[in-house]
Amino acid sequence: MEKMEIREIEGRGRSFVSSKPIKAGEILLRESPILIYSSTLLSNFCSHCFTKLIDSSFIISCSVCSNHALYCSSTCQTSSSHTPLLCNSLNALRNTPISSDLQLQAYFLIAAYNLSPDSFRLLMSLQGDSPITPDTQFLHSLISSFCSPSSLELTAALLAKDKLNAFGLMEPFRGDGKEMKVRGYAIYPKGSFFNHDCLPNACRFDYVDSGDPSSNTDIIVRAIHDIPEGREICLSYFPVDWNYADRQKRLMEDYGFKCDCDRCIVEVNWCDGDDDDQEMGGSDQEEDNDFPHAYFFVRYVCDKENCAGTLAPLPPPQPSNVMECNVCGCFKTEEEQEQEQAIDTDESEDGIVIMDD
């Protein structure tokens, strides 16, 4: 946080802005979650630290909800917020036949209503407010039997805060092309101030299976490249290889805004299908105009099959030309990344350069 401050930006709300020049790879934020909830009731990871459970002889289970709260160690069991109230609520929820979407929102609400007063205040200070919908009414009455939510309006506001601010803790990359699974969701009060850009200058790393239960669910945000003083620091809220239509749809539906970043300003003029197979023929000048952000994809998007994660240099003082991918975890030098991209380009058909979506 030393090199960033929070500023109000017209039309964008609060946002991080660099207060000093930032070097590529620098860690901009490291923060523990105030709230974390599982994406499933039947899990194969520790209910406290979210680390994958490997050795069954060390697994400890909650005596009440047996295989629904599992711990990798007694330390995790004693530090857990799995109070009798929470345990009974989750147990009751297990027997309620509702959609997985509603179940997820119910987990969040139960975790939120079990927060300490300070953490609850922090959660309430985040952006997000929502009208009361039939789903809100249903969820409010559902969780009323487990905990004591104060009002329907508060439940609606909490759900909106979750939707706008929660970060997914991803299962490790498998590389099989199937959608990556989310192990849990976490709220980081400072991390919530990052606005979105489709060409972000920072990206988030998580190391959930790193084996250090005191910090493995921390969010770590690093600069992708050098950032001068006074620049807004943004993440991408989804993988950077999404096409224009999908990005705009997600941002409008889930975050309530139309993106007018530099990349969207260019891509709005592309014809249908251009962004699925961006063709760059013609003169260099035309190419630059059509796809001025090509450099970003060459340098900062991982080209490992089915990955498309974002690459950021290792934090100083480590060598700044070694890039780490925030999805598959591979390391490569900038030179290797550029060479691999050049080979992909040469192999594409008839001299037409095809940038994969």
Closest to ligand SAM by CB, 193 or 300 = 193
Q: Could you give the string, one character per residue 14-53, with x where binding to ligand SAM holds by CB under 6 A and - elsewhere? A: xx--------------------------------------
Q: Is 259 in the site for ligand SAM (CB under 6 A)?
A: yes
How is residue 176 written in tokens? 């099989």
Q: Is 13 in the site for ligand SAM (CB under 6 A)?
A: yes
Minimum distance from residue 71 beta carbon to ligand SAM (Å): 31
Query: Which listed residue (2, 12, 269, 356) binds ligand SAM by CB under 6 A?
Result: 12
Max Cα-Cα span within the chain: 70
Closest to ligand SAM by CB, 255 or 270 = 255
Number of residues that bind ligand SAM (CB under 6 A): 17
Q: Is 257 in the site for ligand SAM (CB under 6 A)?
A: yes
Dihedral sign computed on CA atoms, order 290, 293, 295, 300:
negative
Distance of CA 250 to the CA centre of its chain: 14
Q: Which stretch binds ligand SAM (CB under 6 A): 101-109, 195-203, 292-300, 338-346?
A: 195-203
How is residue 242 written in tokens? 């999404």
Question: Is cis: bond before 189, omega within 30 of 0?
Answer: no
Residue type, 52: K
DSSP 8-state assignment for residue 332: E
Minimum distance from residue 238 beta carbon to ligand SAM (Å): 12
Q: Could you give the string, one character per residue 48-87, with x where binding to ligand SAM holds by CB under 6 A and - elsewhere? A: ----------------------------------------
Contact 213, 51 (CB under 8 A): yes
Closest to ligand SAM by CB, 164 or 280 = 164
Q: Which stretch binds ligand SAM (CB under 6 A): 6-14, 24-32, 77-85, 335-343?
A: 6-14
257-290: burial string, b at 16+ Cβ within 10 Å, e else = eebebebbeebeeeeeeebeebebeeeeeeeeeb
Q: Which stretch binds ligand SAM (CB under 6 A): 17-25, 238-246, 249-257, 318-326?
A: 249-257
Comparing every residue's Cβ against ligand SAM, the nearest one is 13
Closest to ligand SAM by CB, 51 or 248 = 248
Q: Could you give the string, one character per residue 154-193, with x where binding to ligand SAM holds by CB under 6 A and - elsewhere? A: ----------xx--------------------------xx
Q: Which of 226, 289, 230 is nearest to 262 (CA)?
A: 289
Minimum distance from residue 75 beta carbon to ligand SAM (Å): 32
For residue 351, give the 3-state DSSP assignment.
Answer: helix
H-type alpha helices, the chain: 74-79, 84-94, 100-113, 117-125, 134-144, 152-165, 244-255, 262-267, 284-290, 294-300, 334-347
Q: Which DSSP string corresponds to 46-95?
A: -TTT-PBP--GGG-EEETTTEEEEEESSHHHHHH----HHHHHHHHHHHT
Give residues in contact with ligand SAM (CB under 6 A): 11-15, 127, 164-165, 192-193, 195-197, 255-257, 259
